[in-house]
Amino acid sequence: MILIAYILILTAPFVILYIGPKIPRQLAAETVNDFRFFQHQISYPKSYSFNLQLGVICIWVLVMLIACAVKPSPVFLIQTALFTGCLVLGALIDHQTGLLPFRVSYALGLFGMYQAAVMAPESVAPILGSGGLVYGLGSLVNWLASRRLGHPIIGGGDIVLLTMLTTWFPLIGIALTLWIASMTGLIESRVRQLGAIRLGPHLAFGALSYWLVQAIL
């Protein structure tokens, strides 16, 4: 178990940096009916810039150092590595392309549901209920916004990510994640003077912050 944890910690960031640029290009190649919409994706880089790669590795090292200091058990380190890996991968893709692929969020949800089924089988039903509630509320907000404003206010990928986070967090954790993402998103929009932001990276930051804080406390 310890060996698996260390292998995962050491290899995961490089796997993220390798497959991260490939997923948007695969989505473009798989999309036939909407090819014109995705034509701009041919300009997406085949690899991330050196500064972005360095930033990802620094974030990864920082998170793992905190995890090791807080709870140096193999199970927690594996959980943190899988959780962080999915969040960082989704945030990178959303930052670069504006897309938050469902498959990345689904992977996060599968990991969360598996650990819940193994470690606390009685929690599976409440988790499914929480996920349905979050997805329903997100869809309802978008429906109301579309009727009122003419467009949704949160992306479908963001709703799916929040839904999948219910396999890891209670509802209060989802609410705090969304609050942190809203605050950091507001700061970004004010500093960069943007009318709209990509919420995925901010949701990833909020979720990772909540994960580490609850481990510390």
The pLDDT of residue 25 is 61
pLDDT-based confidence at residue 173 (cuts at 50, 70, 90):
very high
The pLDDT of residue 37 is 46
Question: What is this structure's pTM?
Answer: 0.85
pLDDT-based confidence at residue 38 (cuts at 50, 70, 90):
very low
The pLDDT of residue 168 is 95
pLDDT in tens, 143-165: 998 888 888 888 888 999 999 99
Examine the pLDDT at 42 and tell me if it is beyond 80: no
Residue with tokens 């700061």: 187
The pLDDT of residue 51 is 87
**Average pLDDT score, the chain:** 84
Domain that holds residue 114: 2-216
pLDDT in tens, 71-102: 888 889 999 999 999 999 999 888 888 888 88
The pLDDT of residue 12 is 79
The domain tally of the chain equals: 1
